[in-house]
């Protein structure tokens, strides 16, 4: 039995996955048709076509060849694995090595390098914006955005028919940030990346939580809960999901320690990427 596997529901999303530092992190968001990181290659990823890998550390990305192999086995074409641009050739090398070792072709999966500033189109209505994350290796954060349309101000008096006829003139496009996922990173992302504060749902790493582990967090380029508490007033998100807890901490310890340290302004909105009954403070 997998004690760390969880299902967490927000108003818009069902997030399934597991996330423990140095061991395994993956999330499936079926509502968006994506995986965020791939951990050690979970079965629930195999049917998902868009995989967003934040960085090359084993606990987030070693599942890529297994995913590719499973897609090949089931003849499921069209798998796209987005990775930091600096890591793309390395991941292609890994897949090529497996092709040689197993005398097979992993042609159903494409590795695509993306860098901060890039925009990936997801279907007709969604985009993924790539943001920088600071970690010990090249790392991306990903922001999932819905492209919506609305009537421009001043045209409320038009009939449906008139709106239809003058569509190009009176309808404007706007972008609504649904979800921001940091992957592994340090407090720099809280200082520099305004976008993380505006998404409906923020998934942010919080590897360390107790006193005495602040230096460890900084040294290994991770976030300590104190960093999040320091920026508490800036979060405008409906839900803030904390992920990637160190395995030093038990589940009850994580919930109780964060409940003790959490500023009031965040308390109702924080969720923990753990199974029930540990998700809420």
**Shortest distance, position 254 Cβ to Zn ion, whole Å:** 16
One residue of 18, 20, 28, 57 binding Zn ion per CB under 5 A = 57
**Shortest distance, position 157 Cβ to Zn ion, whole Å:** 54
**Shortest distance, position 139 Cβ to Zn ion, whole Å:** 7
The answer to whether 186 contacts Zn ion (rule: CB under 5 A) is no
**Taking phi first (over 0 means left), then psi (-120 to 50 degrees means alpha), and beta for anything else, what does residue 243 get?**
beta
- In the bound state with Zn ion, the residue whose beta carbon lies nearer, of 54 and 72, is 54
Closest CA to 182 of 58, 84, 56, 36: 36
- 83 CB-contact burial (10 Å; exposed 0-12 / middle 13-18 / buried 19+): buried
Query: Binding segment for Zn ion among 120-128, 141-149, 178-186, 230-238 (CB under 5 A)?
Result: 178-186
The answer to whether 227 contacts Zn ion (rule: CB under 5 A) is no
Q: What are phi and psi of 174, to 5 degrees?
A: -145, 165
One residue of 16, 59, 108, 186 binding Zn ion per CB under 5 A = 59
Q: How far apart are CA 157 and CA 63, in angstroms?
A: 55
Query: Binding segment for Zn ion among 11-19, 52-60, 71-79, 96-104 (CB under 5 A)?
Result: 52-60
Q: How far apart are CA 207 and CA 21, in angstroms?
A: 6
Q: How far apart are CA 201 and CA 27, in angstroms?
A: 14
**Shortest distance, position 18 Cβ to Zn ion, whole Å:** 12
- The two tokens of residue 251 are 């589940």
One residue of 108, 184, 186, 200 binding Zn ion per CB under 5 A = 184
- The two tokens of residue 262 are 């959490």
- In the bound state with Zn ion, the residue whose beta carbon lies nearer, of 28 and 57, is 57
Interface residue list for Zn ion (CB under 5 A): 57, 59, 184
């Amino acid at each position: 039995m997998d004690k760390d596997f969880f299902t967490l529901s927000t108003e818009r999303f069902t997030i399934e996955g597991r996330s423990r530092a140095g061991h395994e992190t993956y999330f499936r968001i079926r509502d968006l048709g994506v995986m965020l990181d791939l951990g050690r290659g979970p079965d629930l990823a195999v049917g998902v076509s868009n995989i967003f890998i934040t960085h090359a550390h084993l606990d987030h990305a070693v599942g890529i060849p297994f995913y590719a192999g499973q897609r090949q086995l089931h003849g499921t074409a069209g798998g796209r694995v987005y990775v930091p641009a600096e890591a793309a050739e390395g991941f292609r090398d890994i897949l090529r090595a497996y092709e040689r070792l197993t005398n097979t072709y992993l042609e159903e999966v494409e590795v695509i390098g993306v860098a901060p500033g890039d925009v990936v189109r997801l279907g007709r209505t969604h985009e993924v914006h790539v943001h920088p994350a600071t970690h010990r290796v090249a790392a991306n954060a990903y922001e999932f955005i819905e492209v919506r349309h609305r009537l421009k101000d001043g045209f409320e008096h038009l009939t449906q028919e008139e709106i239809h006829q003058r569509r190009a003139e009176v309808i404007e496009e706007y972008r609504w940030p649904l979800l921001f996922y940091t992957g592994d990173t340090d407090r720099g992302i809280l200082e520099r990346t305004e976008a993380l504060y505006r998404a409906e749902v923020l998934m942010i790493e919080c590897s360390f939580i107790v006193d005495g582990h602040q230096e460890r967090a900084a040294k290994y380029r991770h976030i300590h809960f104190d960093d999040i508490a320091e920026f508490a007033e800036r979060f405008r998100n409906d839900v803030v999901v904390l992920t990637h807890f160190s395995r030093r901490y038990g589940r009850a310890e994580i919930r109780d320690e964060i409940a003790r340290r959490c500023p009031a302004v965040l308390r109702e909105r924080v969720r923990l990427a753990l199974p029930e009954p540990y998700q809420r403070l």
